[in-house]
Amino acid sequence: MTITLSADQTLAEIVNARPAAARTFEAHNLDYCCGGRRTLADACAESGTDAAFVMEQLNAMETEDEPDWMAMGPAALVDHIEAAHHEYLNSELPRIDALVSKVSSKHGDRHPELLEVRATWGELRAELEPHLMKEERVLFPMIRELAASDTTPEFHCGTLGNPILVMLSEHDHAGHLLASLRARTGGYSAPDDACMSYRMLYDALGELEADTHLHIHKENNLLFPAVLALETSSDAKK
């Protein structure tokens, strides 16, 4: 089925309809995760991007076989996020950390921006690892329990809206740190004298940024609204 896209749709709606659009938005530095409620037209106007050119790219892209996020219930979506994004981060965070240490220690004298990259990366990792743990050990089990119950279970936090607000705030902070890393690396563009490890680091940071943006999009714009709607409907059955 052909999906018609429009510049009047929000960035989140476009990625939900055509997941490959995330790569186009990444290429134009359009925030579709934390900023996904803006229309494409508004986001392009704010960033000085040609909306017509972006639409041309979106409509020209080939559709790909992707998991149907919109069809997933909260429990299935939680399972998907853990398998697709949490496992990725748990693997990549230590690898990138080793690269950051190696590259900054060897090249920091000639490229002092690497010292800022190391500091920002350390802050990002310190944000992401406990965030993943809180989701896996606290929020996601409660979401699975809610999805399996006919009525709203009694949670220690009251409504699930409370931990979700915390997750949303942490997503915003992670987004700011990723934007800072992008700025300090010149858009992950390695200098001409960069060694192989240097280039591997910048490639890895760019990939992590793209994956984390998609990860946050799925939670902010799909999972959390679905959980809150389910909780409301379950409360009504009491």
Q: What is the pLDDT of residue 196?
A: 94
Q: What is the pLDDT of residue 156?
A: 82
Query: Within 10 Å of residue 215's Cβ, how many Cβ atoms?
Result: 22
- Check pLDDT > 70 for residue 238: no
Please determine, for residue 1, whether its predicted confidence score (pLDDT) is greater than 50: no
Helix, coil or strand: residue 225: helix
Neighbours of 148 (CB within 10 A): 9
**63: confidence class by pLDDT, cuts 50, 70, 90:** low
Q: What are phi and psi of 39, to 5 degrees?
A: -75, 160
Task: Report which DSSP code applies to 168.
Answer: H
Q: Looking at residue 62, what is its pLDDT?
A: 66
Distance separating alpha carbons of residues 237 and 234, to the nearest angstrom: 5
Query: Residue 213: is its pLDDT beyond 90?
Result: yes
Rounded to an integer, the average pLDDT of 205-221 is 96
Between 18 and 210, the higher pLDDT residue: 210
Higher model confidence: residue 190 or residue 19?
Answer: 190
Residues 6+ apart with CB under 8 A from 213: 22, 26, 31, 32, 33, 175, 178
> Coil, strand or helix: which one is 110?
coil
Contact 84, 132 (CB under 8 A): no
The pLDDT confidence band at residue 17, using thresholds 50, 70 and 90, is confident
Q: Stretch 60-71: mean pLDDT, rounded?
A: 70
Site of tokens 């809150």: 228
The pTM assigned to this predicted structure is: 0.86
| 120 pLDDT higher than 70 | yes
Report d(CA 166, CA 181) in Å as an integer: 23
The answer, yes or no, to whether residue 2 has pLDDT greater than 70, is no
Q: Is the dihedral of CA 112, 114, 120, 126 positive or negative?
A: negative
pLDDT confidence tier of residue 20, bands split at 50, 70 and 90: confident
* 3-class secondary structure, 117: helix
Domain spans of the chain, in order of start:
11-60, 71-236
Mean pLDDT of the region 178-185 = 96
